Structure 1
Amino acid sequence: MLGKLLLIAILMFGFGYSLVPLYKRICELTGSNVLSTQESSAASAVRNTQIDTSRYVTVEFDGNAQGPWRFRPTISSLRVHPGELANVVYEVVNKQSRAINAQAIPSYAPQEAASYFKKLECFCFKQQTLGPNEARQMPVSFYVDPALPKNVTTITLSYTFFEVGLPTAKAVSQ
């Protein structure tokens, strides 16, 4: 019985070990998941078919500050193809001599564009803690969904940056 179990274990190990070259060979035969990097540059040039190169969308950036800091985008607008990955940086400067916690809330215009504006990385996903007199560059990585209606040619992304965790005033009891 021990011999049979040992033989089965060895066969299972051998089968698992042989799967890697077998997988590579199948991929070469079918042309899928090509792992070879020795193809000519013309043949290996891959075009992202999810980008709609037939049109542009202008994305305008805006920053509003509700608190003791300066908050603004580093550029005012960017032209992108729908589906194209783009990056923009917002700059914030804490003008106080104390640390503050803040949060950014986005808004979009026109409102119908909100569901087509896809953020992959954004400082608005979490609260930010800014040290005294700290300046920070905060990136936003996004793309505009190619399904955006053709009549929408401009999207405005606006952030309102405000302090969180402030003590609230207690209601006056009468």
Structure 2
Amino acid sequence: MSFRSENTRMVRKLVVVAAGMFAFGYALVPMYQAICEFTGINILALAEREVPGVGSVGKNVRLPDNTQVDLTRTITVEFDANSRGPWEFKPAQRSVQVHPGELTTVMYEFQNVQNRRMSAQAIPSYAPRQAAAHFNKVECFCFNQYTLEPGEKKEWPVAFVVDPKLSKDVTTITLSYTFFEVGGKTPPAPAGGTAQAPLQPEKVGS
């Protein structure tokens, strides 16, 4: 057998091997897609779309539903502010509509309009009374005491979730805050509300 014949056979074998590798690589895409769809993890997107808070995902990807949110109900949450002293205190918005189980954040605004430093804290209350046990605050400025300089402004968030176990008879909840100066007399809760006890006073530097 001549040297040229051996080279020809070797080239043919290499061509067959290369064609086989190309075919195998080409077949991987539908195979992988079939496996992903079968297992429910379909990350091969035929087209992509942007989902807020998630990023770019394929159109065939099913995002998990939050089964804790009751989309069949809508509750109006109203916000109120009571000041026990010469300062400005108010919610950034008067009401929102939420679904039970849905995380919602609102802001409260405060300004010390006095010409002296002050330390203050807020007490929350709820109406109707039975809503208090089902109004879960994830973040709230009422958990802390604050010291503000003369003229200083602050914005504080309230992040909350209304428990889906809340009676279906309740369609409106009023969240009211009473803001008072630390060291003074603790004010009573607004009429018709159920107040939470304030935290123990902390030492605040002068």
- What TM-score results when the alignment is normalised by the length of structure 2? 0.61
* Aligned position for 1:126: 144
Q: 1:163 to 1:51 in 2, by over 3 A?
A: same
> Secondary structure of 2:154's partner?
strand
Which blocks of at least 5 consecutive residues in structure 2 are unaligned?
Answer: 1-35, 46-57, 186-206
Out of 80, 89, 94, which is 1:71 matched to? 89
Q: SS at 1:113's partner residue?
A: helix
Which residue of 2 is the match for residue 146 of structure 1? 164
Q: Output aligned runs, 1:32-51, within 5 Å.
A: 40-51=58-69
CA contact (8 A) 2:43 2:61 kept: no
Count of matched residue positions in the alignment of Structure 1 and Structure 2 = 136
User: What corresponds to 2:135 in structure 1?
Assistant: 117
Matched to 1:147, the amino acid is K
SS of the residue corresponding to residue 170 of structure 2 reads coil
Q: CA deviation at 1:44?
A: 3.8
Whether the 8 Å contact between 2:139 and 2:160 is mirrored in structure 1 is yes
In the aligned structure 1, how far is the partner of 2:181 from the partner of 2:59? 51
Name the CA distance, whole Å, in 1 between partners of 2:106 and 2:155.
Answer: 10
Given that 2:112 and 2:149 are in contact with CA atoms closer than 8 Å, whether structure 1 keeps it comes out as yes
Q: What is the Cα-based RMSD across aligned positions, in Å?
A: 2.1
Q: Which has the higher contact order (CA 8 A, sep 6+)?
A: 1
Segment drifting more, 126-135 vs 37-46? 37-46
Amino acid at match of 2:72: S
- What secondary structure is seen at the aligned counterpart in 1 of 2:150? coil
- Aligned partner of 2:110 in structure 1 is 92
